[in-house]
């Protein structure tokens, strides 16, 4: 076992119930008990946090102050002359590291004829090493304002955005209120609701890594392609996210977006009970100027950058090739 000492101690002190709530419970009452037990054992016995930390440290991290808020972000300028500035923004329960599989292919394409990007990946306020939201009533409209300021201070007067989950709303705000600099937006999913208040669940989970794992892991499995969940890399991704949320102490402020959100001002949304149900092109066109619509992938779910990174890179590149110079 190779863990941060505080996390390792917490996991050693964790007691699981030892059985499912009723015989044959399966997934009727939440994730399967065996799934939770197996993931806990992997976390305590096989998960190497320091190996993950080394990979994270290889990325170009920065912290800058924009509109009075300190934002943690990754930034890689491509060496390609015609590279397009690209803002990648995640949702909940995600983090900057979920873009680790698309970061390189976007900024350093294997084929020199493919479009390259200057890639910027910020942590939302309240996530990882970004400041917590500085006031009550902080919405994703405020986050969009901060991110637009960040892109401009980085020297990007025009840029495109790729987003999903709660990052979807940040992207919509950028497209609605910052139409000159934000030229294109690529969406992969809209967020679902969460019934609990940030203080209620956030304080309960703050010093409870297994609680974070169950809360985050359930959301990962609810929103992901069932086939992807069978891969060892999927459990690894859940443990990486749970570890980051625990070690950076961000589980509570990361949930603020569910309590303080834009209310979809300026847009019309039709939300179904199935957060992964595909939206028709006609419905999507009611929410904005749709220049590119594609429903060709047989797999993938909420976490596109983790589940199907190659397809996501391809779609972003196709959109840029088709629309950027118009």
Measured in whole angstroms, the distance separating CA 59 from the mean position of its chain's CA atoms is 17
Q: How confident is the model at residue 277 (pLDDT cuts 50, 70, 90)?
A: very low
pLDDT number for residue 77: 94
Question: Which of 30-34, 132-136, 137-141, 254-258 is the least confident region?
Answer: 254-258
Q: Tens of pLDDT along 11-64? A: 989 999 999 999 999 989 989 999 999 999 999 999 999 999 999 999 999 999
* pLDDT (average), residues 214-234: 82
Smallest Cα–Cα separation from 240: which of 35, 74, 55, 85?
55
* Angstrom distance (rounded) from CA 166 to CA 258: 9
Answer CATH for 5-18+31-323 from 3.40.50.740, 3.30.450.20, 3.40.50.1820, 3.40.50.620: 3.40.50.1820
- Quickly list DSSP for 9-46: HHHHT----SS-SSTT-TTTTSS-HHHHHHHHHHHHHT
* pLDDT (average), residues 239-260: 91
Whether residue 272 is predicted with pLDDT greater than 50 in this model: the reply is: no
Q: Specify the higher pLDDT residue, 236 or 277.
A: 236
Q: Specify the higher pLDDT residue, 308 or 246.
A: 246
Average pLDDT, the chain: 84
* CA separation, residue 165 to residues 14, 65, 92, 140 (Å): 31, 24, 7, 12
Q: Specify the higher pLDDT residue, 297 or 44.
A: 44
Torsion over CA: 134, 139, 145, 147 (sign): positive
Q: Tens of pLDDT along 50-69? A: 999 999 999 999 999 999 99
Q: How confident is the model at residue 153 (pLDDT cuts 50, 70, 90)?
A: very high
CA angle 253, 143, 55 (to 5 degrees): 65
pLDDT number for residue 38: 94
In the chain the beta strands, taken as DSSP E runs, fall at 61-66, 69-76, 84-89, 117-122, 159-163, 182-187
Measured in whole angstroms, the distance separating CA 301 from the mean position of its chain's CA atoms is 12
| Contact status, residue 185 vs residue 171, Cβ threshold 8 Å | yes
pLDDT number for residue 162: 94
């Amino acid at each position: 076992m190779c863990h941060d000492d505080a996390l390792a101690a917490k996991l050693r002190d964790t007691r699981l119930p030892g059985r499912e709530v009723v015989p044959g419970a399966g997934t009727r009452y939440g994730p399967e008990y065996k799934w939770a037990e197996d993931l806990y054992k992997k976390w305590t016995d096989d998960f190497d946090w320091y190996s993950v930390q080394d990979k994270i440290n290889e990325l170009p991290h920065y912290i800058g102050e924009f509109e009075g808020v300190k934002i943690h972000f990754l930034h890689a300028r491509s060496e390609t002359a015609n590279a397009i500035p690209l803002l990648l923004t995640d949702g909940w329960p995600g983090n900057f590291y979920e873009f680790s599989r698309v970061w390189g292919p976007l900024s350093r394409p294997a084929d020199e004829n493919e479009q390259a990007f200057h890639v910027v990946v910020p942590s939302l306020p309240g996530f990882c090493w970004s400041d917590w939201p500085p006031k009550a009533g902080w919405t994703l409209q405020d986050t969009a304002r901060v991110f637009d300021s960040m892109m401009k201070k980085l020297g990007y007067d025009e840029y495109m955005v790729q987003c999903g989950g709660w990052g979807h709303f940040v992207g919509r705000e950028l497209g609605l209120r910052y139409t000159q600099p934000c030229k294109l937006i690529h969406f992969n999913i809209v967020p679902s609701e969460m019934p609990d208040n940030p203080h209620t669940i956030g304080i309960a989970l703050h010093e409870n890594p297994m609680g974070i794992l169950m809360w985050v892991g359930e959301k990962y499995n609810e929103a992901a392609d069932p086939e992807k969940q069978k891969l060892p890399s999927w459990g690894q991704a859940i443990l990486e996210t749970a570890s980051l949320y625990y070690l950076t102490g961000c589980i509570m402020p990361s949930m603020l977006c569910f309590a303080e959100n834009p209310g979809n001002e300026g847009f019309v949304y039709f939300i179904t009970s199935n957060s992964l149900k595909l939206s028709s092109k006609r419905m999507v066109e009611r929410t904005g100027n749709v220049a590119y619509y594609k429903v060709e992938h047989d797999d993938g779910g909420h976490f596109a950058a983790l589940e199907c990174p190659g397809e996501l890179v391809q779609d972003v590149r196709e959109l840029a090739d088709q629309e950027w110079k118009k």
